[in-house]
Amino acid sequence: MNRKEDVLLSIKPEYAREIIAGRKHFEYRKRIFKKPVNTIVIYVTKPVGLIVGEFTIKQILLDTPENIWIKTADYSGIKKNDFEAYFKGREKAYAIELLEVTTYHTPINPFKVWKRFVPPQSFRYI
C-alpha cells in the first residue's frame, strides 16, 4: 500500500484569506506533486510568514488554463486577469479542489519552530 504524503504549500496572503473565508475552493498550480498527497498544509508567504491551517484534496483538475478557468471561475477566489497572468504562456494548468479546510487556532511560526526553515518556492513534502 502506498502511503500518501503531506505537503507544505506556499500561498500568498490574499489567496490564503479567501481559502479560510470559504470563498476560494481551488488552488492553482503550474506544476503538481509527483507523489500521492493526503493533506496540504498552508504556509502564508511574507509578510505573514505563518502556517495557518490545512486542507484535504477533493480532486486535482488538469486542462488548458482557459478550460480550468471555465470550470472553476465561480469558486476561484482570484481575479481573471491575475489567473491569466499566472498561467501566461502555459499549455497546462492544475486546479487543486479543496475538500475540508481546517484553520489552526494558533498559527505556527515556522521560523521559530525550525532552526533553518526555508519557505518552499511552490511546495515541499513534509
Domain chopping of the chain, boundaries? 5-125
Does residue 119 surpass a pLDDT of 60? yes
pLDDT in tens, 41-86: 999 999 999 999 999 999 999 999 999 999 999 999 999 999 999 9
Does residue 3 surpass a pLDDT of 80? no
CA dihedral 95, 6, 17, 98 (to 10 degrees): 40
How many helices and strands, by DSSP H and E, does the chain display?
4, 6
What's the mean pLDDT when you consider all of the chain? 96
| DSSP secondary structure, 8-58, as one string | EEEE-HHHHHHHHHT---EEEESS--SS-EEEEEEEETTTT-EEEEEEEEE
The CATH number of the structural domain formed by 5-125 is 2.30.130.30
- C-alpha grid cell, residue 16: 490564503
When pLDDT is averaged across residues 88-110 and rounded to a whole number, the result is: 98
When pLDDT is averaged across residues 30-39 and rounded to a whole number, the result is: 94
Residue closest to 58 by CA, chosen among 44, 33, 37: 37
